[in-house]
Amino acid sequence: MEELQARFNKFVEDFLKFTWAWDLLQALIRVLIVVVICFIVYKIVVFIMTKYISLAKGDINKKRAKTINNLIRSFMRYIFVVIGVIFSLQYLGLDPATIFAGAGVIGIVIGFAFQDLLKDIVAGFFIIIEKSYNVGDLVEIDGTTGTITNIGIKTTTFVAYTGEVIIINNRDISKVINFSSANYCITVNNIVLSYEDDINKFIDIFNSKIDYFKEKFPEIIDAPKIMGLNSFEGVGYLVEIHTKVKTLSQYNFRRTFYLEILKMCKEHGFTHSIPIIKKDRSEDDKNDYNPT
């Protein structure tokens, strides 16, 4: 009892002398030094590896180099955070080994909680290794089309055409359509001609303008080709046109090519050419529908 009383008195005495404050300040300064050193070493390591990749030749193009750089930054960030925490605990008077060893049950719980994180990390590395996509690629993920802006060890970020920034866990990515990896793209333009129009005349006029189309649209790889009559619509017959163009140019080409077709139709008297407009009708509309 007397020993316990003596220890309590010494604690009160030391507390009133503020010796604890000096010890705490020293520990905080050491922790701050650890943080600064880790940050500097992290920047140096990332700079060296980024420089090495940028100078590498062969199959590493700009997109892939940027992708690998982002992954390295993400991975090294996690590594140096762990290193910084371990050294900081030591300077705060805590033994990391004792803490980790004594947290057996907690470690199991945390392990289960971090299963998804591990899946994300593994999926992220497979994305890079298998070259599923790179930063800057135009892709479709889960029905949403956008441009990849970042690939981390946990998440992938891409920006949709309408501007939304979408962040998705790597483990949740199952099906990816990579438009950028294709060597070409086939665009499809459909136009409905009236049954009163001469389809053979339309084909002859269209084929006579092939050289003009190829000159006007440098993205064309193979000349536009009329595939024939695709179907018979209620107002006319459907003509389908295929054009092989450079990758990523298909969207703008398709819209612009429609204008050229419309211009050609007006110039040569195909006044009944109209676009296909499909409208879903309700059950009441279907019951009231009368084709006559």
Gap between the Cα atoms of 268 and 154, Å rounded: 58
Q: Please give the pLDDT value at position 37.
A: 84
Q: Is residue 219 part of a domain?
A: yes
Per-residue pLDDT band for 291 (boundaries 50, 70, 90) equals: very low
Q: Is residue 112 part of a domain?
A: no
Q: Is residue 274 part of a domain?
A: no
Same structural domain, 78 and 53: yes
Same structural domain, 97 and 142: no
pTM: 0.52
Q: Which secondary structure element, helix H or strand E, spans residue 222, and what is its range? A: strand 220-232
Q: Give the pair of three-digit tokens for residue 96.
A: 């990391």
Higher pLDDT, 29 or 209: 209
| Residue-wise pLDDT tens digits, 199-216 | 889 899 999 999 999 999
Q: Is residue 166 part of a domain?
A: yes
Q: Is residue 7 part of a domain?
A: yes
Same structural domain, 27 and 65: yes
Structure-derived torsion over alpha carbons of residues 101, 105, 107, 111, reported in degrees to the nearest 10: 150
**Residue 243 backbone phi and psi in degrees, to 5:** -140, 130
Q: Is residue 222 part of a domain?
A: yes
Q: Is residue 27 part of a domain?
A: yes
Same structural domain, 16 and 93: yes
For position 153, which CATH number holds? 2.30.30.60
pLDDT mean over 50-61: 60
* Number of domain units in the chain: 3
Mean model confidence pLDDT for the chain:
75
Per-residue pLDDT band for 7 (boundaries 50, 70, 90) equals: low
For position 15, which CATH number holds? 1.10.287
| Segments forming the whole domain that contains residue 227 | 185-267
> Cβ atoms within 10 A of the Cβ of 63, count?
16
